[in-house]
A and B are shown apart, each in its own frame.
Chain A
Amino acid sequence: MNGEAWLFLFAVVVAALLLFTMIFFIIMFSDLECDYINPIDLCSKLNQFVIPESVGHALLAVIFLFNGAWISLLLNLPLIGMNVNKIINNRHMYDATEIFRTLPQHKKECFFKLAFYLLSFFFSNHSNIATQVHDRGTSCRRAKGTASYPQLMLPKHTKHYGGLFHMQEVMVDKVEQIPIKTPSILASEAL
């Protein structure tokens, strides 16, 4: 596994964590609606997770930035912006006195984030696999395991050119070596 694969593996883990956080938030909100929890407890519980969640997401973005995974970074930027904006305006914490008034909005936001983290989970997962496949693309034996993603593989080659310079060079070398082989191998194995 190369650096990029590690990166995406890490992204997968973080996305999964964030995903679970959001599910937890949503469950807590529906508890509140059913009056299983009072708003003060709810807010004190959820507020513990607000900053970690934002930080986790920001961390991910920073890693994307350093690794030059520009597409991933771009996808994450709007959410980063939203979080930063909220923190700057001091609106990031849940307010027990306003929670019922803002509950629909919070829920909407949580569902949106849930969907986003879910997508980014799959995206990172895919990128991870793709990177690994690509990484091992030179050997037929290794490529076997990922051969069921031929159609996903192809565009990835181009994508990975966006990596860090040393990676790029490595990849350029590899790409030069494989260009003809890879598709044919994969195509044949897929069949």
Chain B
Amino acid sequence: MNPNQPVGQQPQQRPPATAPLIPNASVRPIGMQGPPGAGGFRPQGPLVQMGQRPQMNPQQPAQFRPQQPMQPQINRNPLSPTMQQARPLMQNSNQQFAPQQLQSGPVRPVVGAGPPVGMTSPLIQQQQQQLQQQQYAGPQSGPTGPGGPMSSIVSPTGPNPIASISPQQAGVPPVGAAPRPVAAGRRAYPTAPQQPQQQQQIGGQPGFQQQQMQQQQMQQNPMMGNPYQQQGQAPNMVAPMGQQQQQQQQQQFMQPASVPQFGGARPPQFGAAQNSMQSQQPGYATQQGFDQPQQPVYGAQLQNGQPQQSMMNQGQMGGLQNGMQNMNMGQNQRNPAAPTAVNLLQKAPSVTELETMTPPPNMSAQMSVSQSPHSICPPVYKRCTMNAIPQTQAILTKSKIPLGLILTPYRSLQPGEEPVPVVNPPQIVRCRRCRTYINPWVQFVEQGTRWKCNMCFLTNEVPAFFDWDSEARQQVDRMKRPELTHSVVEYIAPQEYMVRPPQPVILLFVIDVSYAAVQSGMVDAVSKTLLECLDDFPNSDGRTKVGFIAVDHSLHFFNLNSTNSEPQMLVMPDIEDAFLPSPDGLLASLTESRVVIEKLLAGLPGMFRGTTSSQNCLGRALQSANTMIKAIGGKIILFQSSLPNLSEASLKMREDPKVLGTPKEVSLLQPQNAFYKGFAVDCSRAHVSVDLFAFNSQYLDLATLSSLAKVTGGSNYYYPTFNPSNAQDLAKLSTELHNYFSRPLALEAVLRVRASKGLKMSRFHGNFFLRSTDLLALPTVNPDNSYAIEMEIQDALPSAVACFQTALLHTSSSGERRIRVLTLTIPVTDSYGDLFTGADQYAIATLLSKKGVEKCITSNLDSARDEMISRLTDLIGAYKAAFTSSGQNSMLILPENLKLLPLLMMSTLKHIAFRTSGIIPSDVRTFAQALMCVYPTEAYLPSIHPRFWAIHSMDSSCGELDDATGRVIFPPVLNLSSEKLERHGLYLLENGSDIFFWVGRGIAPELCQLVFGVPSYDGIVFGKNALPQLSNDWSKRVHNLVSNIKQLRTLMMTTCPNVYIVKEDSDPNLRMLFLSQLMEDKLDSGNSYPLFLGYVREKMAKPASMF
């Protein structure tokens, strides 16, 4: 082997007997070091000589090698070629292995056309073909389709097309299309995917081709490819055409100056894909050493052959590219070529990007041990604010980017999403020391007999069942195990993960039946809706138990024993000394006592119709409820409509309109009574969670009551102006309750977050009880809730990849103990360029808003607002300090991938949760803040920055289902500015909790007729009204849009938005409500977007002037 090999890489070769198991296969021995392509095809081009490679693969007949003129290099560096050079990845790995994709695919002759053996999808063939066409520009190029003649000639097919073509083409992702061959006996596992692969350079290419290759490789760069897109959309939807276009686009911002350098002028050792950075850094070449042709050098980053990058805009690509250059430069040298900067003041923010919320890509799926595209954690489950983690706290502090995770571990699946794979292994494989679960990012070492933990680097035994199915008595391919292919998996937990048998689902309803509640129609509506929802109750194992307590000045229990024919009401007037009036029957099995329960729900409104009690002893009711179910745990569902005013838990009416909008307002946002929090802590201990449904028009002190849900992992639902006579209100309640009961429910859960050595969780945000420094107790897991975790870097991160693993141990509603494991890996960097180009503005905004809520409650509203602004200005300042010269001082610039951050922060400040205004009732604000605390990024964005469409000008496809994606097509999103409002327009705006139709005064009568069913503008009724269902195409399409939004929001946050019709000259309050959603406009004290930017710039200028 190469004597210059990096220390710590053991170049031992395995005995040949173990290696090639398939005739003609290019299985490379484990531990062999060298270019992956060497094992497979080696081009017989003019010069490819990879010294030692050939003899390692004696089986590989030379004539099967593709006549490829050049062999590009492969670099498996997650971040960039240059970073690798600075810090070899996984220095402490013992062995260096080639990725299996590149080593173990059966090789098929390239020229001799044969039927595809494997299951190569036409798409991959197509891509390969396309790649080859581009390479062999000229003679071979021609229009070929997937089934065209060329495909059989040019593209070799096999189970592993990537291996069989050329390393360069290995960039094409195997996305499920390239099954791994099952080998008998020991196989070569891709044990160290992070290892830099040795590079071979083939020179002699004309510059143009080189350039083209660079384009391709740039495109396939792991940082640039967008791994997330693989999740949602099948790769085979990508037309080759799109790729070509993309490449052409990329060419536009490649730096052509650097290209000619490679065209053969350089020694062959250089990677064809080295980009322009080389020309700027001659030192690199010598450092890499021409005399070390096989050293892992930067070069083509082929791992992530992400074919589709349409969502990535060019600027971002450019930014990444520049970021890499910057990495070379190191921190000391200020790099003029910083991440592409966007001058914020130049143009209106491009809100269309908010629709996709694409985070910057981080890792290539090809770097995972299984190279499965699912090894990338989908951002909807887990999202980090930075997709390149700084190596040390110093860099992090200086960059001013908050480091945090947004987790939504148990989220409800949207239609079309794949369910989380469930595995039931005989034994759950975890690291002995740090208890990390095995995941796609571990490495296999010692011939695959041991695995190396990617958190603490301890090597652990690989259990036998990974390779041998003892029941079926046959070999199994470990790389097909979901825990090695998916970053999100669910284990069925064995006995040792239970302290007691899995608990049944218990739902205990505590319903306010005081005068106010009955009068508001809440009791009636809730009883009716619950009766309808009984079938939705989670009861898959038939063990679900249900109980009811009605509360006014006394407690009303209901004996629901199935032996009774009628429910029996037990009244407990002595609340000071409350006890449970019946030993059993208060909690009844839903299956057995169904009839009694139905009778109770049907009769409940009637029982209390004539009540005169204006008192409510919620505190006692909660204590009794807890006593009832604390032995088992479960859920207390609280329907409250009046302020509790009896017992120690009574709350004072403290709302004072004079205080609103003043610094004292914060006192209204803090709990007034310690009872509820203390009670919630007790509940949390007994695995009881509380969900609050608040119906009121009066003050209800949500600030105090919401702590019940906050501590117990529950949720709050708020119906501020609930009116049972309004069909929309009833429909909203019904839709939400249906979804509330039918969504997945997890019980007695704990959530632990592990991170690579050196990282420390510092703060947690969300609804949970923090039981230990990294353990969240969640009596029930609400799928809507997300959890935000802030982190610090305690010690410099030792490895090149940081890993975050979240494990959620829970009991599913079907009575199974399960562990859901989410693993996210992020490359580590020490360059500011990478930090900034890898920052995820959406996650940052989400995290900052959660911090803002906390700050608001502990300090006050103004300091929360100030802090958010200062975090923004600090970030911009840090960026400018790192990448701009003094001449740009007056400009307000941010990298392309952060350019929307100011808009998001401004919108957050204008959100009800943070807006400075004297007219927001404290209940409304508290509720908004409580939601802000639990919003996942996907729900947070529309709530702060509503989506806004012009309906009158939408084209005829909008509102129809898109056949390709199965989704409703929406018109293009508009900027939230009243400039967009035309006199004759009809607009739709959606903010997650409400849907507004804005009708311009000059709306065309035809449109009125089509959508509203009235002949003119004057006939339209404004207010909280549903649109009429009309039998014309327009009306249908508009209804499609509305129902799509409702469905989305119901699934995402269990919120069914109300529809408001707002006319240009309607009720001023309604009008203001709509206009306050237009975030780019000036609102009360909130600045318009340009003014806000000006303010930010001023703030930034101040500290600068001090120096």
Residue ranges of A at the interface with B (Cβ–Cβ < 8 Å) = 33, 35, 38-40, 90, 93, 95-97, 99-101
Contacts and interface: CB of A to CB of B under 8 A. Distances in A.
B761 to A, nearest CB: 10
A40 B770 contact: no
A111 B504 CA distance: 46
Contact of A97 (B677, B772, B773): B677
Contact of B770 (A90, A93, A100): A100
A99 B680 CA distance: 15
B770 A39 contact: yes
A90 B711 CA distance: 19
Nearest to B774: A35
Interface string B668-705: 00000010010011001100000000000000000000
Given A40-B681, A95-B677, A100 B711 contact: no
9 contacts: A35-B773, A38-B772, A40-B681, A93-B674, A95-B677, A97-B677, A97-B710, A97-B769, A100-B764
Nearest to B707: A97
B1099 interface: no
B983 interface: no
Given A40-B681, A40-B685, A90-B674, A97 B771 contact: no
A136 B769 CA distance: 61
Nearest to A39: B771
Interface string B757-784: 0000001100001111101000000000
Contact of A35 (B680, B710, B764, B772): B772
B774 to A, nearest CB: 9
A97 B763 contact: no
Given A97-B711, A101-B763, A38 B771 contact: yes
A88 B834 CA distance: 50
Given A96-B681, A97-B677, A97-B711, A33 B763 contact: no
Q: Which of A33, A40, A96, A101 has the most CB of B within 10 A?
A: A96
B674 A97 contact: no
A38 B681 CA distance: 12
A100 B777 CA distance: 13
Contacts of A39: 770-771
Interface in B881-901: none
Nearest to B763: A101
Contact of B681 (A90, A97, A100, A101): A97
Contacts of B685: 40
B692 to A, nearest CB: 17
Nearest to B777: A38
Nearest to B770: A100
Given A99-B770, A100-B764, 12 more contacts: A33-B773, A35-B772, A35-B773, A35-B775, A38-B771, A38-B772, A39-B770, A40-B685, A96-B769, A97-B681, A97-B710, A100-B773
Contacts of A95: 677
A8 to B, nearest CB: 39
Nearest to B769: A97
Sort A-B residue pairs by CB-CB distance and give the 3 closest, nearest first: A35-B772, A100-B770, A96-B681
Nearest to A96: B681
Nearest to B761: A100
A93 B681 CA distance: 14
Q: Which of B677, B769, B772 has the most CB of A within 10 A?
A: B772
A93 to B, nearest CB: 8
B763 to A, nearest CB: 7
Interface in B779-832: none
B680 to A, nearest CB: 8
B837 to A, nearest CB: 32
Nearest to B680: A97
Nearest to A43: B681
B675 to A, nearest CB: 12
Contacts of B674: 90, 93
A109 B1097 CA distance: 39
A101 B773 CA distance: 9
Contacts of A38: 771-772
A137 B1034 CA distance: 107
A70 B429 CA distance: 67
B646 to A, nearest CB: 22
Contacts of B680: 97
A129 B680 CA distance: 52
Contacts of A33: 773
A58 B681 CA distance: 31
Nearest to A41: B685
Contacts of A100: 764, 770, 773
Contacts of A93: 674
A31 to B, nearest CB: 11
B771 to A, nearest CB: 6
Contacts of B711: 97
A93 B677 CA distance: 13
Nearest to A35: B772
A151 B835 CA distance: 63
Interface in B191-208: none
Interface string B119-155: 0000000000000000000000000000000000000
A119 B687 CA distance: 45
A38 B711 CA distance: 15
Contacts of A101: 763, 770
B687 to A, nearest CB: 13
Nearest to A102: B858
Contacts of A97: 677, 680-681, 710-711, 769-770
A99 B770 CA distance: 9
A97 to B, nearest CB: 5
Contacts of A90: 674
Contacts of B775: 35
A39 B680 CA distance: 14
Contacts of B773: 33, 35, 100
Listed residue (B681, B711, B763) with the most chain A CB atoms within 10 angstroms of its CB? B681
A90 B667 CA distance: 13
A95 B674 CA distance: 10
A95 B770 CA distance: 11
Nearest to A95: B677
Interface string B356-399: 00000000000000000000000000000000000000000000
A35 B752 CA distance: 13
A90 B675 CA distance: 13
Contacts of A35: 772-773, 775
Contacts of B772: 35, 38
A40 B773 CA distance: 13
A15 B711 CA distance: 37
A50 B769 CA distance: 23
A38 B777 CA distance: 11
A95 B858 CA distance: 13
Nearest to A100: B770
A40 B771 CA distance: 8
A132 B773 CA distance: 51
B684 to A, nearest CB: 8
A29 to B, nearest CB: 12
A180 to B, nearest CB: 63
A35 B775 CA distance: 10
Interface in B734-771: 763-764, 769-771
A101 to B, nearest CB: 7
A97 B766 CA distance: 12
Interface string B902-934: 000000000000000000000000000000000
A33 B680 CA distance: 22
A97 B710 CA distance: 10
Nearest to B685: A40
A101 B768 CA distance: 13
A61 to B, nearest CB: 27
Nearest to A90: B674
Contacts of B677: 95, 97
A93 B680 CA distance: 16
Contacts of B764: 100
A38 B772 CA distance: 7
A96 B684 CA distance: 11
Contacts of B770: 39, 97, 99-101
